[in-house]
Structure formats: structure tokens, C-alpha cells
Amino acid sequence: MGKQSSGKSYLLNHLSGSFLDVAGGRCTDGVWMTITARAGDGEGDGRCLYVLLDFQGLGSFERSEQEDMLLSVLNAAVSNLTIFNKKDFHLDKDTESAFSRFQSGINLVEHDKKFFKGLFYIAIKDVDASDVEDLIQEFDEKFYQICSKSKEYFIVKMYGGKAEIATMAPYNRCEYYQQSLSELAQTVNKIDYTYDNGSTFSRDLKLIISQIAAKDWSPIDTKRVAVIVDIIRRNLMDAICKGCLSVTNANEAQTLVNFDTQEEVPDLPTVVGDLSSNVSDTGLSLASSKNGISDVLSQLRSRLESVLPRKGNNGESWHSILFEKFLEAIAERRRARVQEWISTNTTEFSDDEEVIKLQLEANVALGETKQNLSVCGCKCSECFWRCVLEKGHDQDHSCKGTHSCTERCTYCVREDDTFNLCRNFAGHEGPHHCKERNHTCREICDLYNLSSNCNELCSLQPDHVGRHKCDSSIHVCKMTCSLPSCKNPCIRTIESEHEKHQCHEVYCQRKCTIKGCSRSCGVKDHFHDLVAGAEHLCGNEHACAESCEMPGICEIFTELVRQNRIFQGQRGSFEYEHVSEQNGLRKGCCIPIPRFQRSHQGPHVHTKNENAVHIVTRGSTGYVSDDGHHFACSHSIIVPIHVIFVIDKSGSMGTSDITPTMVRFARHNSRLGCVYEAILRFIITRQITVSDDSISVVLFNESATVAVEIQDMEDGVVDRLLPHQSRGGTAFSSGLWSAEQLMVKAARDPSVHMKIPVVIFLSDGGNNERGNPVCCVERMKSQEPRMVLHTIMFGNDPAQSILEEMANKGDGQFQLTLDGIDLARSFENLAKSIQPRVAAL
């Protein structure tokens, strides 16, 4: 950064090898960004990506002071090194003015763990080697004097107190390239990097730019949490269903990674017993919104069969053990990987309430996925193997196999060398039978019509005596389960008498009744639904659906609302939509509901941080003191006010860098018109809550004019301001003197004297009088102790410190406004916050 034509682009090009435009005049409009990669001395491949920001010269006619200030905030926020290019060694008024713009930005800087960590490097141009030591000492002393004027100078707030002063040889000497740039390059190489890769820098750059565009000065850390949570939440179902972020056009799955380091979450093999499967988790579908779980199970079945075929002696264990354990193993692996992915991306925000809610959401979805990967387990309707369809299906039970035994006939093997294949159904008990020879009786089993697992033909000797019996060791009942909602067959033996038919399921089949949960009831009783007053709970933690019940607002957030604007730059113009406003938000409860409970103990709160502060709003009882404390007692009343606006109408207020939005003020297409519009917004806001206020308006330049004198607060009084135009110089005391006279006159008026006088003083600076306006405020306060004086600085000016002291002496607040939106917001906030109370019974 630096003044126009100070050689900023030239320096960056020769330092980094970039190709930014350079010229004798202005060649940079706004800020340009470029990147360059250089080999380094670090570990790994040693390469480092440098991002270069080249800013338009400070104080240019094309840009306002507010824009200079905002660009300085952007620069300080994201840069590891800010080079302030200085044309000469003099600390003139232009340099002090530039630093003043930087200083204005400290009010917008909140504490952040990652931003505002850079070095402020002042590079003084065209210095001979013989003058270096004396020059640096002189400049350092003057720089210290400027910094000592404020308790919280921008070097401390924006750069953590890190600043260096260096001299640069003239361009036309080889020392500039061999020594000056070399020393600067060494400084760059010594700086610790903030970002591990370009993607995380890009994400945070977009974040800070969006906050500046929205005039949102809340801590950036809170927004970074929101961004990370939003990214994870948008990719969460892909991660749970497919084990990856997304699938590219090349049909390649993007694996789960740490967004900051790009380190992949480990994808370990699935282990089922002694079997280690090489089925990768990345891209493996465990859920599908299109075709349901049946296709997913079919694909998983094929994956396992490719590793371990289900045939021969392996078939029974494949159906009864391996497939279900395989499904359980891959579901558990998916759960571990997704939780690790969330954890590794939210480590520094692990206690944040939004992260806690996200983890609960993920656990619920992962639990449902694991539950959906449960197979039926009933006997196949065509053979003796178990059904591998999804649990609760409405089709015929099927093992999805050939249903035929593929082993050789046991009897043929014993009798001769001719080996025939078994003709029994797959999964049968007893010896294998080819059914081509009379190895056994082959009559119909006596229990065939009574049992669901009968092997049909008698397996006894051909000439046996007595009942015919098949190979099945136990014959189970073929009646349907006694639970009305269950269609599975009973598994009790027909030899044991029973009236209650029970299938193989042991858990309750009803869904959890907690709102938003679709998991099955966790009670280990298949007939739990028949118990009177039974509560169906899945046995997992649940997110509380209630809102925070603590008094006040949980969070104030800034959002954009629509308004068309036109940006005019050197290379063209474009229309965009922009307006920001702040709204209150009541967050949801972050306390989880314990297992097998419908609610948690204690109040509903949005954070576990015991030091969290809620912004208390005014209710029908009690009141909020000036320091923000809420008192529940009702022994007080709100009294009306007499607000006296003291408005600067000097020539600088006619600047058209900002304009009002209402047609009513079209003839004042300037800063002053924005103030008139803001006064109207103040009146409208006050009319909503209080109906007995009075208003006066003083307009001043070198002298003062009372445009409105002690009138009822109605929006029509704004029309009396429209004839007054901006012109002349600025004398704060003239406006304050007129306000004092109005206050004295109101004190003698029986209809107004009980109203609290509130003075709102606004100026864009440039006070050029010899008097002391602070003394005027002290005099006004001594005459009327009830008076409160608020000050508003419109733009940047050295007079800011005067306005701050005036507000301090007047027991009011100082506010800095940067544009018409901030101005309207300041007036509306004042209108809402001014609620003077007096004791009453």
C-alpha cells in the first residue's frame, strides 16, 4: 500500500517475478491479486504459493476515505506482510492522513485467532547508503510520536504491534536490486505462514470480503465456524451415504479430507473375523435416495461374494454370520471415518454449540444408516438359506441364490465312484441326496404341512418302520408371528405347545417417537408395542428441538437485503444489489437429550459457555440500565424526550459520495440528504414506541440556524429541513450554543420541561474554529444535568477525537458511520435505545 505512483507495482514485480501493470501515472484500480509459486527451504517439496495484493494509491480522487479504510482492513486481515511504500523520509500530513484512515478501521477489528497477524513493513524509497542510520532513527521517533497519540493505535490492533522500517536504494542503482530487494525477500522468508494451502486462504478471503461488503463487524471466528459447519453439513449426506464428498465428472470420488491441510481421512480395510476385505470405503454406497436400500444391499452382497463366494460348506456360515458381520463392519467403519472427518475439521471449535449440534445430527444419520443395513434373516421361501433382503420388505423371502445344493451326493460317494450332485434345497440339514437312487425312503415327511423348515422327503432307510421324518433336526412352527404388525413366521418348535407365536426378531419394531428420529425402538422386547403405555425410544442421544429460553437475544447477525447500486470503476461499471441490516436471533438448545429420555434436565440454552451474554430486550415489565443490566422490577416509567439534532451543513456535507434512497430527498443528492433521511427514520422508529416526544433541529456551518424549534415528533417536520442547503465552513460551538438556548427555552415551557433533553450531534469533521466545543458541552451539562449528548462522526477526520470527548462529557455514546446504511442504522439504534426512566409507584 502507499500513495499513488509510489512504485508499489514495480516493487512487487521485482520482488516476486509477477507482471502487474506499471506506469508513470496511476495504473491500479481498486486492488489486484496475483499468485506466484516459488521453491523454498521447507520440508516436503519446499514449494510455497505467494498471494500478492496490489492496492490502488491511497487518497486517490476515485475512492472515498471510507473505501481506503475498508481496503486497509482487508489488507491487514489477510496479509502476512503489508509493505507501506513511502516516497520520501518525511512524515508529512499525507502520511499522517493515511495512517488516520488505518486508525479508523480499528473500531471494526474484533479479536480473531487467524486474521490480523501480519507485519507492517514501511519501505522508504530513494535513500542513499550514507543517510540510512540517521534517517531510520528520525523516522522511528516521528512514527512513535504518531502512535503514542492513541491508546490503541492501528499498529497494535491490526498488526499485533509488529512493525519494521527499512530504506530502499534509488531505482537507478544496482543496490536497489542486489541489496534492498534481497533484504526484503529475507524478511518475507522469515515470516511464518498462516495457511497450509491456497484453498483455505481462498475460503477465508471470501469470508472477510463478504463481511466487509455486508458491513458486518462481528468477530470473524464466529463466521468461520458457520462456514465450516455449513460446508460439512452440505456434504454430510454424501459422506454418510458414499464415504466421500462428491463424485466428479470423471466418476472419481473425492475422499474425505481435512479442509485446511488436505490430509485424507484414513480408509482402512474391512475385517470380518479372519477375513480382511479390500473393499474401499471411499465411494462405497451404503444408502440411496433413488432406489432405496434394496439396491445398496445387492451391491454390497456382490462385493462380499467377489471376495468370499457363498457355496459348498461355506454357504451356511456366509448367510448366518459373514454377511451380517460384513454389513456391521462397513457401517462401523463409515461411522468412524465420518466422525473423524468432522472432528479433524472442527478441532479448534469443538466446544461451539453449532459443532455439537452437527455431531448429533451426524450420529443420528449414521445410526439410521447402520440400522437400514440390517437384513431380514427369515428362511428363504425357496430354500433353507436365510433371506438377504432388507428388514421389513414386502416381497417373498429370498436368499438371492440358486436355491440348490451344489455338493456331491453323500450316498453315491459311499457306494461307488459315480458322483451325482445333491438335489436338495440349499442349506438343508443331513446328508446330501441325489434323489436319482433309492438311498432313502423318500416318502413325504409327516410334519411337512406343519413346519416351515421341513426338507419334505423322509431321510430314513427305505424299509424303516414308523413315522416318516426328514433331515431337519428341529421342525419349527409355520404360523405368522402373533405381533399384528409383524409378518415373519414363528420359530418355535411344533413339538412344544404354544399359543403365542414369536419370530426370530427380539427387538421392538416400532420407530422412535422423538421428533426427527427414524430409528427403531431400542427396547429388547418384540412385543413391546402391546404393553399399555409403552414409550418407544431408540436408546440414543437426541438433539433438543426447543429454543434457548434464556431472556434476551442469543445473537445479532448481519444480513443483506435488496437494493440496487452501481459501481463505477476506471474500466467500466456494473449494477449490484446491496443493503445490510442487523437482526436478532434466538438459537436452538444445544443440550442433548440423554438415552431413553424425552427431555434433558435444566433449562434450554444455546451454549454451554457459562460466561455467554444474552442481549436483553425491553419488555413490558422492568427496564434495562445504561450498562445493559436488566431489572425485573416495574417501579419505573419511561419518560418522553426532547431530542435536539445538531447537524453539520457545511460545504463538505454536499459531497455526493453517498446519496439517500428515498425519492423525498432527491433534491439533496448528498451526505446532507442522507442525514435528512436518517432523521426521518429516527422519527418513525420513535413513533412506534413513544408518542409524546418533542424534536428540534439545529443546522450549522460557521453560524447556526434553528430549522425546527420544539415541535411534536412527526415525520412532517422533516419537510422544514429541505430548503436548507450545504455551504460554508464548520464551527462546532455555533451549533452547540443554539442547542443550549433551545434547552433553556424548553426548561421554561410547562409542556416540555419534564422531557429529558437528548442532543444528537453529527458532523463529517473539518472543525476550523478557535473555540473549544468540549467546554460548551460541560457548560450545557452543568445547566441541565439530565442532558445526554451523543455524537456521530460521518467519515474520517482528525475531529473524531473531539467528538469522542464531547460524547464522554455528555454521558453519551460516540459512533463512527462509514456510509448511508451505517448512518441510518446509527439513528435507528439510537431511537430504540433512548429509553430514559424515572422511579414511579
Give domain limits for the chain: 8-194, 220-372, 405-473, 479-505, 636-839
Taking the C-alpha atoms of residue 147 and residue 102, their distance in angstroms, rounded to an integer, is 12
Q: Assess whether the region 8-194 and the region 636-839 belong to the same CATH fold.
A: yes
pLDDT at 623: 46
Can you tell me the distance from the alpha carbon of 341 to that of 345, in angstroms, rounded to the nearest whole number?
6
Contact call for residues 600 and 592 (beta carbons, < 8 A): yes
Pairing of strands 572-577, 564-569: antiparallel
pLDDT along the chain (841 residues), means of 10: 74 81 59 78 63 76 69 83 75 66 62 75 75 68 64 71 80 83 86 79 82 71 81 90 73 80 84 69 79 82 79 64 84 92 87 84 88 87 87 85 85 77 86 84 89 88 89 88 89 88 89 84 90 88 85 68 58 58 73 88 83 60 44 59 93 87 84 91 81 90 92 90 92 92 90 90 85 90 90 80 90 83 82 67 43
Rounded distance, CA 581 to CA 558, Å?
A: 6
Predicted local confidence at residue 765, as pLDDT = 83
Instruction: Tell me if the domain spanning 8-194 has CATH number 3.40.50.300.
Output: yes
* Burial state string for 110-136 with b = 16 or more CB within 10 A and e = fewer than 16: eebeebbbbbbbbbbbbbeeeeeeebb
Residues near 730 by beta carbon (within 8 Å), at least 6 away in sequence:
648, 650, 652, 700, 701, 702, 763, 765, 766, 767, 768, 769
Residues 6+ apart with CB under 8 A from 153: 103, 106, 146, 147
CATH architecture of 636-839: 3-Layer(aba) Sandwich (3.40)
CA dist 446 → 454, 465, 789 (Å): 9, 13, 104
Query: pTM of this prediction?
Result: 0.62
Q: What is the pLDDT of residue 147?
A: 63
Question: What pLDDT does residue 342 have?
Answer: 93
